[in-house]
Amino acid sequence: MNVLTIAEATFREAQRRRLLWIGAALGLAFLALFGVGYSLMYREALSDGASFLVEMLSGLLIVGLYVVNFLGIMVAVVLSVDTLSGEVASGTIHTVVTKPLRRWEVVVGKWLGLGAMLALFVGLMSAGVMAVSWAVARYVPPHPVEGVALMFLSGLVVLTLSLLGGARLSTMANGLVVLMLYGLAFIAGWIEQFGAYVRNEAAVNTGIVVSLLVPSEAMWKRAAYLMQPAFLRELGATPFTSASAPSQAMVFYTFLYIAAALAAAAYLFQRRDL
């Protein structure tokens, strides 16, 4: 009840601050651009005799989804970085947490509201990219729903981490920490991929350890792995796809990771002097 009230207010806040409109407008602009580029490339490929057509379509689509995934992570940071810390600093939190509720309900409510927005963003943008692909070339990637869900999970990792940071840190410090962690996960993903390509076990292990610390990039890699045609998966290291795809166990781990980070955020916020 309290959780839903907070979640709804969080969602409405984004609406009233016109975040949703700005996001929608820029999202449409991105989709339009993607559509133009995609159809140009498609026509070019057809006139070339359509060799490697599926490879090209799949590659382009994955690039488009990669951008959506990256934007989703940025949206997750922007939405959540100021959530708790900013409200503590401005004092708007004081009249909220002195109501008949528990502080964890505030944290979980915010998480739900922000998570819903992220889901909306990632879902609509991914659907848009796939719709463009369908309209132009009648091509849809395999496992679209599972892939988009994993992309959402990737953003949700960052969103939850940022909420956790906001429970303790100032907005600026939190933003810095979350972006650094994301950067770390990103680099680690490349190290792991490169390691797999040249069969360097140390590099692979480094990548895996960092992925366990911040599993956001791992979720993208699994999404990209699932959403390319089977024969391409075997080929391996194309820039945005993945030779060493994280397993289903990693997805399970990420669920636990998010739950633990959320619980930690609630605990830290509960213990904090406001």
Binding site for other proteins (CB under 8 A): 1-2, 5, 9, 13, 16-17, 90-92, 94-102, 271, 273-274
- Give me the least distance between CB of 99 and other proteins, in Å please: 4
Nearer to other proteins, 43 or 99 (CB): 99
- Give me the least distance between CB of 86 and other proteins, in Å please: 10
**Dihedral class, residue 139 (left if φ above 0, else alpha if ψ from -120 to 50, else beta):** beta
Nearer to other proteins, 43 or 102 (CB): 102
- Give me the least distance between CB of 9 and other proteins, in Å please: 5
> H or E element: which one contains 51?
none
Q: For 202, how many CA atoms within 13 A lie in the half-sphere containing its CB?
A: 0
- Give me the least distance between CB of 266 and other proteins, in Å please: 15
Nearer to other proteins, 9 or 74 (CB): 9
Going by C-alpha positions, the residue among 74, 75, 83 that lies closest to residue 174 is 83
Q: How far is CA 240 from CA 17, 60, 90, 96, 228, in A?
A: 34, 10, 41, 44, 11
- Give me the least distance between CB of 19 and other proteins, in Å please: 10
Q: Are 233 and 225 in contact (CB under 8 A)?
A: yes
Nearer to other proteins, 92 or 247 (CB): 92
Other CB atoms within a 10 A radius of the CB of residue 198 amount to 9
Nearer to other proteins, 43 or 94 (CB): 94
